[in-house]
């Protein structure tokens, strides 16, 4: 069964620091894709970054990067040099091979303080 | 730029009334999805579609119907709205398996209140 778990409900950090958000997933498929989305205070849901299961290199986009640990079924999101506007809810998600559905975690609330 | 739009953005309905939420995408994606998000919770899949004329049940389909009359449009229908359906509804579109883009793109959401 497919499942995505985010155990951190809320994280608070100081501006300009680095934060890591955790996510573990369950799948029986050997091919899958992992995503992180950001939901802003206005409710907008924005795609941030993707990791393909067959790639060993961690994906990086801007100040977002991933820590993909395949043996642990873990995909952490790392935000470096956090800014106030990074305050949002972050969702981890997974899509299996040959499946058009994406399964979401329950989200982690990030608060960046000045 | 790819876009998913939803209408209405806000809706107040009465219990027992019929509600139709509409979604339009200009991404030329085959797949479209309807989710609901309740306060403090994640996204739960209601219905989805692989293309015009097709609809599939998601994880919480009871009380909802869906319609996909064209590649661009996907509607969510509440035939007999109940207060428990008060929520924020998101539409999303995504490429079919085998296409280069695997992520979903979301609309701005519709806030539905059933009194």
Looking at the complex, does the CB of residue B106 fall below 8 Å from at least one CB of chain A?
yes
Nearest neighbour of B50 by CB, restricted to A50, A100, A106: A100
B106–A104 C-beta distance less than 8 A: no
Which residues partner with B1 through β-bridges?
Answer: none
- Name the residue of chain A whose CA is nearest to B98's CA: A98
d(CA B106, CA B90): 7
- Name the residue of chain A whose CA is nearest to B91's CA: A45
- A78/chain B closest Cα distance in angstroms: 19
Nearest neighbour of B102 by CB, restricted to A45, A50, A105: A50
d(CA A36, CA A17): 20
d(CA B102, CA A95): 8
- Say whether pLDDT at B90 is over 90: yes
d(CA A35, CA B40): 20
According to the model, what pLDDT value does residue B100 have? Answer: 62
H or E segment at A25?
A: strand A24-26
According to the model, what pLDDT value does residue A54 have? Answer: 92
- A98/chain B closest Cα distance in angstroms: 6
According to the model, what pLDDT value does residue B98 have? Answer: 65
B2-28: pLDDT as tens digits: 599 999 999 999 999 999 999 999 988
A15-59: pLDDT as tens digits: 999 999 999 999 998 889 999 999 999 999 999 999 999 999 999
d(CA B65, CA A44): 24
Q: How confident is the model at residue B97 (pLDDT cuts 50, 70, 90)?
A: low
The DSSP 8-state label assigned to residue B26 in this structure reads -
């Amino acid at each position: 069964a497919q499942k995505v778990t985010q155990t951190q409900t809320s994280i608070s950090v100081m501006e300009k620091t680095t934060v890591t958000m955790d996510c573990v997933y369950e799948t029986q498929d050997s091919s899958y894709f992992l995503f992180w989305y950001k939901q802003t205070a206005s409710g907008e849901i924005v795609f941030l970054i993707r990791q393909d299961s067959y790639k060993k290199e961690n994906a990086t986009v801007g100040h977002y990067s991933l820590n993909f640990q395949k043996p642990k079924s873990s995909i952490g999101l790392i935000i470096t040099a956090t800014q106030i506007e990074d305050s949002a809810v972050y969702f981890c998600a997974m899509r299996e091979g040959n499946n058009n559905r994406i399964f979401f975690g329950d989200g982690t609330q990030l608060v960046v303080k000045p | 730029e790819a876009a998913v739009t939803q209408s209405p953005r806000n809706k107040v309905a009465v219990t027992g009334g019929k509600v139709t939420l509409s979604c339009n995408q200009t991404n030329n994606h085959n797949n479209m999805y309807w989710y609901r998000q309740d306060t403090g919770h994640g996204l739960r899949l209601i219905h989805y579609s692989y293309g015009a004329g097709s609809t599939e049940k998601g994880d919480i389909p009871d009380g909802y119907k869906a319609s996909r009359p064209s590649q661009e449009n996907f509607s969510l229908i509440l035939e007999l709205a109940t207060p428990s359906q008060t929520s924020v509804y998101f539409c999303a579109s995504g490429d079919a398996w085998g296409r280069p883009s695997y992520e979903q793109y979301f609309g701005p959401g519709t806030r539905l209140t059933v009194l």
